[in-house]
Chains A and B, each alone.
Chain A
Amino acid sequence: GENVEQHPSTLSVQEGDSAVIKCTYSDSASNYFPWYKQELGKRPQLIIDIRSNVGEKKDQRIAVTLNKTAKHFSLHITETQPEDSAVYFCAASRRGTDKLIFGTGTRLQVFP
């Protein structure tokens, strides 16, 4: 069945450094790839997304890249700040379906 693998499960960085989280999906028909951020005790919220017809998308300090051939997509956070500390989830969705398949999450800790 459909599957999304996410690595690493935990990531610790110094404030100001970059962080990269990687995901791999199994369904080659997937065409939409969102990233959600969940702060401690809060609900997941969408922070950025990318469609399969685009290779990269940026929004200020965050960016997402997609390699359709390898079925990989990644989240890049530059100049990390303590408020970036959270759990990040990648997900994949196939055209014509209502389901999102989530990765298992990455706990990012940014140390001052």
Chain B
Amino acid sequence: NAGVTQTPKFQVLKTGQSMTLQCAQDMNHNSMYWYRQDPGMGLRLIYYSASEGTTDKGEVPNGYNVSRLNKREFSLRLESAAPSQTSVYFCASRRGGSKNIQYFGAGTRLSVL
């Protein structure tokens, strides 16, 4: 039982390049999330998916797209990377129930030059 797995762990891009961050969970959770973490800014929600087939914008969606490929996988795509997207990206998933307990992946450290 690996929990939430993110790939890659590190990535360096040039401005204008595209890439997809991958996330998979093996806990049979319905909801999945993408956050970015910047110094002094906490964890800001980019997009989330409450269930397979649905996605919704979070606080900072501009410049990103997501795909909920199936119940296990939720990917984040940067179509044209910008230096402002340099950050640490975390994927998370939530088990059901009245408590919103989220389980995080190990993160992807992205630098855009």
What residues make up the interface of A, taking CB atoms closer than 8 Å to B? 6, 9, 32, 34, 42-46, 49, 51, 89, 93, 95, 97-100, 102-105
Contacts and interface: CB of A to CB of B under 8 A. Distances in A.
A99 B58 contact: yes
Contacts, number: 50
Interface string B24-65: 000000010000000011111100101000000010000000
SS class, residues of chain A in contact with chain B: loop
B104 A43 contact: yes
A100 B94 CA distance: 10
B42 A104 contact: yes
B42 A100 contact: no
Contact of B100 (A89, A100, A103): A100
Contacts of B41: 104
Nearest to B54: A98
B43 A102 contact: yes
Nearest to B4: A43
Given A32-B98, A34-B101, A43-B105, A99 B40 contact: no
Contacts of B42: 6, 89, 102-105
A95 B104 contact: no
Interface in B54-113: 58, 90, 94, 98-102, 104-107
A51 B106 CA distance: 27
Nearest to B40: A104
